[in-house]
Amino acid sequence: MYQHILIATDGSVLAHKGLEHGLALARALGSRVTIIHVTEQYPLAMPGFGWPSTTEEIEAYLERSEQYGASVLSAAKAMAEQMGLAAETVYVDEAKPAEAIIEAAQDLRCDAIVMASNGRRGLSKLLLGSQTLEVLTKTKIPVVVIR
């Protein structure tokens, strides 16, 4: 059914649940697995504050983000190996998560995307947005949403 599954994770507890489900699906189907972590772009100016960040602050953010991403992907890969799966990992820095996930799925020729959603509704969904919703609405690749 699915030959290559892309699993998105941000390292959160909810994303861990999505990772577990995605890996179990891959194992059941005998699919290849790629796990992706995306670091969002650094906000150069906060609305209402008016001053940009310093170069040092930006560099520190990028370094922390890269370290965090590496630890998330390392733990995810170890989980895959414990389940008997050989997983590839992809780290994308300074990107919009939904766009990076869709682009990676297309570039890697994945035929399914697995990701978690916190199930926000109403005004909070409108204000906070949803990377999962954006992936669902902008890709033609099947998306399995874990909640």
pTM of the model as a whole:
0.89
Which pLDDT score, from 0 to 100, does residue 128 have?
A: 42
**DSSP secondary structure, 19-49, as one string:** HHHHHHHHHHHT-EEEEEEEPPPP-SB-TTT
- What is the CATH topology of the domain spanning 4-43+51-117+140-146? Rossmann fold (3.40.50)
Tokens in use for 51? 């001053």
Range 10-39 average pLDDT: 97
Which pLDDT score, from 0 to 100, does residue 127 have?
A: 41
Q: Tell me how far apart the alpha carbons of residues 22 and 112 are, in angstroms, rounded to a whole number.
A: 10
Q: Tell me how far apart the alpha carbons of residues 9 and 27 are, in angstroms, rounded to a whole number.
A: 18
Count CB neighbours of 147 within 10 A. Answer: 11
Tokens in use for 39? 């670091």
pLDDT in tens, 83-139: 999 999 999 999 999 999 999 999 999 999 999 987 555 555 544 448 999 999 999
pLDDT in tens, 31-75: 999 999 999 988 765 555 556 678 888 899 999 999 999 999 999
Give the C-alpha distances (Å, rounded to integers) separating 36 from 9, 58, 64, 78, 91: 6, 23, 17, 14, 6
Which residue ranges make up each domain of the chain?
A: 4-43+51-117+140-146
Q: What residue ranges in the chain does DSSP mark as E strands?
A: 4-8, 32-38, 87-92, 112-116, 143-146
